[in-house]
Amino acid sequence: MHLVLRSSKAKGDWSFRRPANKLKIRQIVTKFSEKYGIKILSLANVGNHLHFHIKLSNRYTYKCFIRAITAAIAMAVSGTSRWNPLKKEPKDRFWDYRPFTRVIIGFRAFLNLRDYIEINELEGFGFQRPQAKFFLKWHQLKILDETGK
């Protein structure tokens, strides 16, 4: 399953790519994926949004998993808690939308998602999308040449 979590508030100190936040996010995702039996196949941290490629062990655990990681990431990044919440106005929500999900069926879709997440990870490092696509294709061809010899 492809999962995207986006926040327009994730800028500056709240950016997901900030080293302290990046570590917190990785720990949160690891903790809750182990707790709910969800396998994280890949994760791309782009700064203001996160791309996941996850494999669910049970479809009923998704609801608990997504509720836990969205709340934990929002609290870890923004420094809020139950006793120190963000303002109650709708425009002050941390996440922009509900999590975007798409079920991946077939090997071709799996490969496309893998490449898409790698391209987004490269964009998070500062590459432009055409440069990231070129680098990814070049890297894949290089690996094919090495294994073919």
Four-way CATH pick for 2-103: 3.40.50.720, 3.40.720.10, 3.40.1190.20, 3.30.70.1290: 3.30.70.1290
CA-based radius of gyration for the chain: 17
For the chain, domain boundaries: 2-103, 106-149
Q: Are the CB atoms for 119 and 111 separated by under 8 Å?
A: no
Exposure letters 120-144 (e unless 16+ CB within 10 A, then b):
bbbbbeebeeeebbeebeeeeeeee
Give the model's confidence band at 86: pLDDT under 50 very low, under 70 low, under 90 confident, else very high.
Answer: low
pLDDT(56) > 60: yes
Contacts of 101 (CB under 8 A, 6+ apart): 1, 2, 3, 4
Q: Are the CB atoms for 103 and 1 separated by under 8 Å?
A: yes
Q: Are the CB atoms for 7 and 104 separated by under 8 Å?
A: no
pLDDT(2) > 80: yes
Q: How far apart are CA 48 and CA 59, in angstroms?
A: 27
Q: Are the CB atoms for 122 and 132 separated by under 8 Å?
A: yes
pLDDT(23) > 80: yes
Give the model's confidence band at 87: pLDDT under 50 very low, under 70 low, under 90 confident, else very high.
Answer: low
Give the model's confidence band at 91: pLDDT under 50 very low, under 70 low, under 90 confident, else very high.
Answer: low
Q: What is the pLDDT of residue 58?
A: 86
Question: What are the phi and psi torsion angles at 111 (to 5°)?
Answer: -65, -40
Q: Which two tokens stand for residue 35?
A: 């707790």
Q: What is the pLDDT of residue 54?
A: 93
Cα-Cα-Cα-Cα torsion 49, 41, 67, 102, nearest 10 degrees, comes to 70
